Structure 1
Amino acid sequence: MTTGTGTSGGAGRPQTAEPITISFAGFNRAWAAWIGHRLNLRGYQVSFQRWDPPVTENLETSFADLVLAPG
């Protein structure tokens, strides 16, 4: 997970921050949404990526797809 960079502005909001991608398995969607909401309240740009590759898929390919997400 990428964290924000830069200094904090008022009310705990970052002045400049890299986007954050929250990667989650399907059954953890609620936690990812909660964390994303909390980060949005702090001024971070958040995107979500469900990552729950099938057992039959090559894990190396799945990891390669995972790093294509912004943030």
Structure 2
Amino acid sequence: MLVLTRKLGESIAIDDHIKIVVVQIKGKQVRLGIKAPKETKIHREEVYKSIQDQNTEAAQADLSSISDLADELKK
């Protein structure tokens, strides 16, 4: 893990396309601004983990559940 020290208004560049800027420091919280291409997905870690968990759960759906859902949609 790379650990960097930045002050208010300073930034970090990742490749040529992503820039992270320290926007605000308030007590123990740091507000970051992220400039990246629109196609770059950016999530808080807890949201990212939730998305991954939901994708894993959806991928494990058994065929009978899918068949039941298809039957319900036909009604």
Give TM-score scaled by structure 1 length.
0.24
Structure showing greater Rg:
2
Looking at secondary structure, tell me which structure has more strand per residue.
2
Higher relative contact order (CA 8 A, sep 6+): 1
Give TM-score scaled by structure 2 length.
0.23
